[in-house]
Structure 1
């Protein structure tokens, strides 16, 4: 218990300076996935049908293709998206290559950051990963910044793997080694988690919105506004406040997702429009979109054969 209290205190000391700094510009950021390749990411379910409900408008692609990266950034910018939060789980793998390419190719005004999805197995390994990432991109012009500092997002799996104490120890070591380190936006998927994790991160974000929107329809817009206001208000005092929106959700084509899965129908685009309206009314600093291209969970707003560029049009013409 004494060790836990010490670590919690250390986390508060780490986080406090970030909150004291001036707020950064408003952002509209989309979670981006770079795991698609000819033999990866696009697959079939046990019944032989594809495992992603919708299909890219321009066909299946390789995330490392420079033409694909250029097209995705161009489409996102045209819709008013200001940056990508791209999935990352360590160096020297395809997702790391996509991250580097996005940073290199991002034009002025479009930011890139990493969504750190795993610890690597231990607090020490996570520290090594964060230190290496920081050294590579600390001064990159395109890297997303929070209150003037390079910023990363941290997925819930990191805490699941090493716990809050492990995360606190890894971050403290990273901060000491680098002389400041990353500002960190951690996952907190409900109000209780916000309260519990405020001291662990500079800011927080929800990712698993589908558990909030599952089954919603009657009064969807009113309920979304009420929930968004509570969510943003609970983050008051953090370096930035965030609100997360999604166009829909359906992961039932994935064989490893069993049981009564949450689903959120798109309702011909109304779901995204109402969620976006609710987020804007709540006035967070950053609006987060799940997702640019998570095709396996059908949360993508990247143009598809089924939905065209409808959600991008909603962003562009609020």
Structure 2
């Protein structure tokens, strides 16, 4: 299916057909964590870039170390996470090499993996990126809906290309989960993608100073309902967020509140009954949204994830 104007009607018809068949083919419930494979010597660790929290034991690890990948995926599997969404910045990038390590390691543990397309300057560049990823998507560990491999697209791509620019991107056959930041954007972007997700939930939670749980349940319900009859519906949870040490200006902050924030967002997500719960994030250390064990928080969020995934996945009919 292509996103050109010439094929817009055909794409819409295909999406409508997929809506009915994807659930029947067992898209099912999943818990997926956004994952960052860019860490390494002089790459995204101090002094190159400051981080908010510290990995457990102070280990500034290398994402291209197979032992590190194995440990991380073991922890995910033990916590009930069913797959990961790996940040991807293009062929040959460190994240591209990390993805090559992730896929066979995920297969060994019964996990699924997909990529998060982070940037594209033009529609032609995005088309080339999708073509490059489609070759990797033949791997049996790649996340699928029906017969189609899944690909997530970050909001930066839409900010760069615009919605009209995205229509010119050639899709070789991916089930694409695009970005949307509020219910209105969901309605506007629904014709462009097979499903939608929000990543930067902190721009919502930043304003929930009181009764976070109540506001989260109300917002999460509206968010999932806005996705309507999409083949897959999503909801995003995060343990906290703080990137003020990286960026100047009035930045959104979501305090962890000793783990209460994560629990209340999970409770709201479970009540909203999406197909997939997305965790922001496994290891975005710079923004303080990681659930990977840290010196500051131990395995608190990882243990909470295990309890919530059991509840969420165990409640599917």
- Provide the TM-score with structure 1 as the length reference: 0.90
Listed as ranges, the matches of 1:97-176 within 5 Å are 97-106=97-106, 107-119=108-120, 121-138=121-138, 140-170=139-169, 173-175=170-172
2:207 and 2:201 map into 1 onto residues whose CA distance is 12
Q: CA deviation at 1:222?
A: 1.1
Structure 2 residue runs without a partner (length 5+): 309-317
Match status 1:80 vs 2:80 = yes
Matches within 5 A, 1:299-318: 299-318=289-308
After superposition, the C-alpha distances for 1:201-252 in whole angstroms (9 at most, x for unaligned) are: 0000001100110042421111111111000000011111000000000001
Displacement of 1:6: 5.7
1:30/1:289 contact within 8 Å kept: yes
Q: Which moved more, 1:57-66 or 1:9-18?
A: 9-18
Distance 1:133 1:16 in 2: 25
- Structure 1 unaligned runs (5+)? 176-180
Which of 224, 228, 241 is equivalent to 2:216? 224
Distance in 1 (alpha carbons) for counterparts of 2:303 and 2:21: 35
What is the SS of the residue equivalent to 1:287? strand
State how far apart, in whole Å, the 2-side matches of 1:233 and 1:296 are: 32
Q: Which of these residues, 33, 41, 44, is aligned with residue 30 of structure 1?
A: 33
CA distance in 1, matches of 2:161, 2:209: 37
Q: CA deviation at 1:152?
A: 0.6
Q: Does 1:239 align with 2:231?
A: yes
Hey, what's the Cα distance between the residues in 2 that align with 1:41 and 1:7? Answer: 41
Moved more, 150-159 or 126-135: 126-135
CA shift for structure 1 position 297: 0.4
TM-superposed deviation, 1:260: 1.1
Q: Take 2:5 and 2:76, find their aligned partners in 1: how far apart are those partners? A: 43
Contact 2:74 2:109 in 1 (8 A): no
Name which of 190, 193, 198 aligns with 1:206.
Answer: 198
User: Deviations along 1:134-164, whole A, 9 cap, x unmatched?
Assistant: 12322x1110112331101001111122221
Note the alpha carbon deviations across 1:35-59, whole angstroms, 9 max, x for none. 11110111349xxxx7211000041
- Structure 1 runs (4+) deviating above 6 angstroms are none
- Partner of 1:87, secondary structure, is strand
1:147 and 1:206 map into 2 onto residues whose CA distance is 23
Per the normalisation by structure 2, the TM-score is 0.90
Go from structure 1 to structure 2 and tell me whether the alpha carbon gap of 1:281 and 1:94 turns closer, same or farther (over 3 Å shift).
same
Distance in 1 (CA, whole Å) between partners of 2:5 and 2:135 is 30
- Match for residue 259 of structure 1? 249
**What CA distance in whole angstroms lies between the structure 2 residues aligned with 1:174 and 1:5?**
13
Contact 1:245 1:276 (C-alpha < 8 Å) held by counterparts: yes
- In structure 1, the residue matched to 2:312 is none
Q: Is the 8 A contact 2:50 2:286 kept in 1?
A: yes
Q: Does the residue aligned with 1:306 lie in a helix, a strand or coil?
A: coil
CA offsets per residue over residues 95-115 of structure 1, 9 Å max, x none?
000011100211353110000
Deviation at 1:7, TM superposition (A): 6.8
